């Protein structure tokens, strides 16, 4: 069997050498891919760990795999939703820290890596909506601490 061009991930460069069946219906051929969830996890792992730069389609694929709306992921990454949408459309490139942070967060979500990145990102995103208040500190025998 020749490699099958898999388009179910929304990416242009995915080919399968096995793990699928071709079923003939007269002149038409249907393809059944085995363990699609496992395949998508393998694709995500490659994108996160080995792809040098994420394309717009790859960013969309990763976001869809963690089942998160653009608005929520944009907020966690600390960018405007329009900026995130432009990354997915490919009209703007994702840069440096945002790309690395997205890789780490998606990796934690999909690959069950141990860590608290998601919890920390949500905590930090909430800080941007936090009203600044007066901070008081006091010196103690253990050093400076926030006053009660």
**Domain range summary for the chain, segments of one domain joined by +:** 38-128
Question: What whole-number distance in Å separates Cα of residue 107 and Cα of residue 133?
Answer: 35
Which class is 38-128 in CATH?
Answer: mainly alpha
Calculate the alpha carbon distances from 28 to 11, 23, 77, 80, 101 in Å. 23, 8, 45, 45, 44
Q: Average pLDDT for consecutive 10-residue bins of the chain (148 residues)?
A: 90 94 91 93 91 93 96 93 97 91 89 69 64 76 85
- Whether pTM exceeds 0.95: no
Q: So what's the pLDDT on residue 84?
A: 97
């Amino acid at each position: 069997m020749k490699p099958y061009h898999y388009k179910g991930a929304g990416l242009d460069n995915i080919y399968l050498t096995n793990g699928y069946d071709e079923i003939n219906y007269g002149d038409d051929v249907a393809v059944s891919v085995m363990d699609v969830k496992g395949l998508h996890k393998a694709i995500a792992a490659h994108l996160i760990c080995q792809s040098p730069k994420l394309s717009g389609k790859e960013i969309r694929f990763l976001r869809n795999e963690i089942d998160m709306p653009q608005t929520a992921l944009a907020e966690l990454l600390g960018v405007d939703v329009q900026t995130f949408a432009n990354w997915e459309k490919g009209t703007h490139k994702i840069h440096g820290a945002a790309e690395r942070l997205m890789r780490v967060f998606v990796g934690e979500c999909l690959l069950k890596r141990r860590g608290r990145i998601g919890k920390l990102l949500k905590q930090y995103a909430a800080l941007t909506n936090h009203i600044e208040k007066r901070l008081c500190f006091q010196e103690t025998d253990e050093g400076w601490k926030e006053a009660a």
